[in-house]
Structure 1
Amino acid sequence: MTDERPPHKPGPGPVPPAVLRSLDLAVMKRIESLIPGEHLTPQTGQGTELAMIRPYHPGDDVRHLDWNATARLQEPYVRVHVGERALTSWLVLDVSASMQFGTADRRKADVAEGVALAIGHVATRRGNRLGVMGVGAGDTRIIRPRQGRYGLLGLLAELRRDGGAPDGATLGQALKGAAAIGRQRGLVVIVSDFRGDRDWAAPLQELRARHGVLCVEIVDPREQELVPAGDLWLVDPETGRQVHVDTRRRKIRQRFAAAAAAERDEVRTAIRRAGADHLVLSTAGDWLRVLAGHLRRSEAALKAGNPGRTAAVNRAAGR
């Protein structure tokens, strides 16, 4: 994230090591809350999360004897743990033409790149696997989940692609593909500006039924309101459609702001209805601190709402 960039591609911006370490901890806690434990399966097995204590049966591993329960109940008892597995994460990255827009500190694509690198940094630790789907620039590109550095290399290769093709697959089609290939319960992070057709609403609900889902919405201030800059030609980067606007007219600016706010409200409602977590990041300001703060708050809320081990095991077992 420290590569030198040309002026028209400033990148996600400097990332202080202290903030990255804070983000590392926050993301790991968030992953552990979405897939309880480190990370739990529905079956019992080797792990650190206690499932139950039961009487000893011939053939049980004596190393699993619970000596406190044995002494208290005067018969052998063994500890049964919930099995752990590596977490498989999927990053659905929007690389469409609209992501190249930016009027503040950087482009939306630059913020998306920073989020992808931050998530990828922690999603490939401890043997966990990361898969990448790039959508919006030609055919959807799929990089199968890989462990460790290999997953990050696949992510970097996707980020270096030249986006902007207007005939790419839609986000809804990409989410259908993610649901089809992401059979194993895991974490799905969707990084997009959620512009255009909302064909992603139904696939998002289906995806959320099996996986933990975090929707990271990237916005730019000029997408929400117009400034009185005189006559402007506005171009839709996805379709090439052009519109002439006289931004000196107050009514036009007010109508634009109202329509933009209504559109974002519809996006928020669709994501909330699906039950996915939602975070909005702007091209202005320190996006990384906002990301880390959101994840820490989400983790605190989850702990307050579900502090018991039993509930964690039940969620892991799908009950």
Structure 2
Amino acid sequence: METSELLKRVRHIEIKARGLSRNIFAGQYHSAFKGRGMAFSEVREYQYGDDMRDIDWNVTARYNRPYVKIFEEERELTVMLLIDVSESLGFGSSGKIKRDTVAEIAATLAFSAIQNNDKIGVIFFSDKVEKFIPPKKGRKHILFIIREILGFEPESCGTDINLALRYMTNAIKKRCTTFLISDFIDTGNYKFALRIANRKHDIVAIQVYDKLSTELPPLGLMKVMDPETGGEMWIDTSSKSVRSDYAMWWQRRQSEMMLAFKQSGVDNVSVSTEEDFVKALLLLFQRRR
């Protein structure tokens, strides 16, 4: 992508994402992703009903009457975007490829995080970890992230969610909220890594898919290619059994993915490239309140 074109796209997505995060997501995001830690705030005299475990014995001894520690929720979060950049994200049947929707969602979440004074970082992954951007604050950092999201060229084609989750779990020591954004077209098993990651962090899965991926249209002979392996084959889409088998494959795949989310306790949402991702994210946020 040429520099001038990239800058135009960065500016366009900045305007759109900033407006969405300021006008729509601000309160919803804050409520859905509260700080999980507790920080010491002050001490006050013991009152009936206070937890004995909160007594500050040093202050109590100094003033010869009981005092308790008061804690406040740590509002600042560390937010990680775990972004799939595999070749399958380059597919789109309605004039918009999956990668574009991923970029818009990621940018909107990034601006929402910054407006809530959260740090944000990114891990781009294919079947390897392509790039790690450590979490920071600030508009300059956000624009750098968006430029990377729009212009990043992966070295590899495949998908390995298991590897990406394990890397993130080891790389980020402090508990964080992680948005895993992918089409989840992965032949590997990532259930165990997802469960482990969600124990240490707060994982939220966002699936981006294309409607054509859910069912085959009756168009006769069609040559299809796997963008991640380069494999090609001809299929007869006029055959009802072929279309039925494909639909069953898709449903089975979705069921396995949803089961992995459920067993791992991971909140999730699926977004089609044809639908408004804003509504889908708002529903996700509301479920977490």
**Could you tell me how far apart the structure 2 residues matched to 1:77 and 1:147 are?**
37
More helix by share: 2
1:188 alignment partner AA: T
> Per-residue deviation at 1:3?
7.0
1:22 to 21, 24, 30: 24
Distance 1:295 1:3, change over 3 A: farther
Q: How does 1:242-257 map to 2 (within 5 A)?
A: 242-257=232-247
- RMSD over equivalenced CA pairs, Å: 3.2
> Per-residue deviation at 1:209?
0.6
Distance 1:56 1:166, change over 3 A: closer
Q: SS at the partner of 1:191?
A: strand
Distance 1:118 1:272, change over 3 A: same
Identity of aligned residues (%): 22
Aligned length: 273
Query: 2:175 maps to what in 1?
Result: 185
1:236 to 226, 246, 254: 226
> Per-residue deviation at 1:257?
0.6
1:179 alignment partner AA: T
Residues 132, 142 of structure 1: 8 Å contact kept: yes
Gaps of 5+ in 2: 1-5, 43-49
- 1:161 counterpart = 2:151: yes
> Per-residue deviation at 1:281?
0.5
Q: How does 1:1-319 map to 2 (within 5 A)?
A: 4=8, 17=19, 21-32=23-34, 35-36=35-36, 40-41=37-38, 44-46=39-41, 59=59, 77=67, 80-82=70-72, 84=74, 86-104=76-94, 106-136=96-126, 139-163=129-153, 165-167=155-157, 170-299=160-289
Distance 1:258 1:11, change over 3 A: farther
1:253 alignment partner AA: R
How high is the TM-score relative to the length of structure 1?
0.75
**Could you tell me how far apart the structure 2 residues matched to 1:158 and 1:295 are?**
26
Query: 1:215-235: per-residue Cα shift (whole Å, max 9, x none)?
Result: 001111110100111211001
Distance 1:258 1:27, change over 3 A: same
> Per-residue deviation at 1:156?
1.4
Gaps of 5+ in 1: 61-74, 300-319
**Could you tell me how far apart the structure 2 residues matched to 1:19 and 1:139 are?**
28
Query: 1:181-238: per-residue Cα shift (whole Å, max 9, x none)?
Result: 1111111110001102233221111100111110001111110100111211001000
